Amino acid sequence: MTVHQLNELLFVCALVLLVAVAAVRISSRSGLPSLLLYLGIGVVMGQDGLGQVAFDDAGLTQVIGYAALVVILAEGGLGTKWKEIKPALPAAAVLSTAGVAVSVGVTATAAHYLVGLDWRPALIIGAVVSSTDAAAVFSVLRKVPLPSRVTGALEAESGFNDAPVVILVVAFSTTGPVDSWYVLLGKILLELAIGAAIGLAVGFLGSYGLRHVALPASGLYPIAVMAIAVVAYAAGAMAHGSGFLAVYLASVILGNARLPHAPATRGFAEGLGWLAQIGMFVLLGMLVTPHELVDDFWPAVIVGLVLTMVARPLSVLVSLVPFRIPWQEQALMSWAGLRGAVPVILATIPMVSGIEGSEKLFNIVFVLVVVYTLVQGPTLPWLARALRLGDPAGAADLGVESAPLERLRGHLLSVAIPEKSRMHGVEVAELRLPPGAAVTLVVRDERSFVPGPTTVLRRGDELLVVATDPVRDAAERRLRAVGQGGKLADWLGTGGGGAGAGTGR
């Protein structure tokens, strides 16, 4: 590549990024997942669009898609709250294993008998579309005020179910005979176990290191966190485990470890996640040939209808029988099984393997994802309201950023009080921070002042809290507890565990 070609490439890529960023505004207003807009940009740039760029490298698309998915899973894991997914882990584990098996079987049967596909391509279709998409789930669910059990189960499921689905798609896409079901089950369980062990180990070691080593610049913490997440994926994959599960678990641990400069790290990861989504979806849009989709439109609609109305609800029903979850939550979880880039990326596996008719499979998956994302994404908030699920008036969590003061053996906590925080109206003395922690500065309406014990905190205030190293975690727990429960946090059982929190002082 010459310097002139590099300049042209940078110019085009920058324009695409700017258009994609502007499209997020449209996405947020319409309720459509942004993936559809990015796919549209790729289609416009492709050989049937205005750009007329001929791109048909399925292998490159698969590699870039895997890399983008690693970043998306890392960003999703960093933003996942452990207290929300912990109670939902058993349900998510069953949904991502037994639920996937039910979905694959029902969808493959429909593809064989209703669409006329042979059993191997039908099984490939069933496996490809049985994985919920992490990017779509994270982007849509976090805008909808749902019960924590529902959100936790869906987020954990989308982080877990990539591993078994990838194994099934690869197994069905081999040119030789497919392994027996018990061999496939053994491979899935082994890869999940290896990936989970490596992800947990890397996450705990990484969080321990970042909490005890003060880096010379705050901008290094986000880079280090993302590097640790990528290490988890690569180590898991090279150990013949599930790299996708490893990176998600490692990121969940890092995101809940109270690391220094956590909000900055979260913002950095979110930016990388957007960049990964844009690049991945635009590339997938360029790979498809729109005029070839016409013949595969109705097969995609039929398969998608069975998947959405039969396979997904049945898999949720079967998987959640032991957990006694109300039918309203099960109905919402059935409708919230969003598909996105992951099925389209997985559909490139049979293309790379040279499976006969793989282009038709890719087209069916592409149409299915676009059509049913258009249907499910915008209607999910409406369904949540119709089922009377959600808590729109719930208290918002505080934004707390920590900067270590290694030489002084202390921490500076920067606390932002959001609109829905119950810390509004609480006096500084009523925070009852543990001894060794104090509110030293308040920024209100672009004016800073030193508060007194009777200073009343308001929405929009930014606080600077100084805490010694031994009480840093207790101080943050107490601040978050007051943010959720107000001055009655102790009576509500959310005292935060700080010294003196329950003494009434």
The pTM of this model reads 0.75
Using an 8 Å Cβ cutoff, are 441 and 398 in contact? Answer: no
DSSP state of 396: P
Mean pLDDT by 10 residues, the chain (505 residues): 85 86 68 72 79 79 90 88 84 90 94 92 92 70 70 83 86 80 84 93 94 81 94 94 92 89 84 86 85 88 94 93 89 85 87 86 91 83 81 55 64 85 89 91 90 91 89 86 79 45 34
Return d(Cα 125, Cα 130) in angstroms, integer.
8
pLDDT at 480: 85
DSSP state of 116: -
- Nearest Cα to Cα of residue 351 among 170, 482, 127: 170
DSSP string, 165-229: HHHHHHHHTSSSPPPPHHHHHHHHHHHHHHHHHHHHHHHHHHHHHHHHS--SSTTHHHHHHHHHH
pLDDT at 438: 92
β-strands 399-405, 447-449 pairing? unpaired
Largest CA distance in the chain: 76
- Nearest Cα to Cα of residue 95 among 164, 34, 27, 41: 164
pLDDT at 298: 92
Q: In the structure encoding, which two tokens stand for residue 206, read together?
A: 């990484």
Over residues 423-461, the pLDDT tens digits come to: 889 999 989 899 989 999 999 988 999 999 999 999 889
Q: How far is CA 20 from CA 23, 27, 60, 70, in A?
A: 5, 10, 21, 20
- Nearest Cα to Cα of residue 434 among 478, 487, 464, 488: 478
Over residues 99-114, the pLDDT tens digits come to: 999 999 999 999 999 9
Q: How are strands ordered across the β-sheet holding 462-468?
A: 399-405, 410-416, 462-468, 437-444, 447-449
CA pseudo-torsion sign 147, 151, 157, 160? negative
- Nearest Cα to Cα of residue 388 among 140, 151, 147, 30: 147
Residues contacting 487, CB < 8 A, separation 6+: 425, 426, 427, 430
Q: How far is CA 454 from CA 406, 413, 426, 451, 457, in A?
A: 31, 20, 9, 8, 9
SS (H, E, C) 53-96: ECCCCHHHHHHHHHHHHHHHHHHHHHCCCHHHHCCCHHHHHHHC
State the burial class of residue 259 (Cβ atoms within 10 Å of its Cβ: 0-12, 13-18, 19+): buried
Using an 8 Å Cβ cutoff, are 439 and 464 in contact? Answer: yes
Q: How far is CA 78 from CA 45, 70, 237, 241, 273, in A?
A: 33, 12, 20, 21, 11
3-state secondary structure of 466: strand
Q: In the structure encoding, which two tokens stand for residue 295, read together?
A: 């013949």
Main-chain dihedrals φ then ψ at residue 413, nearest 5 degrees: -105, 120
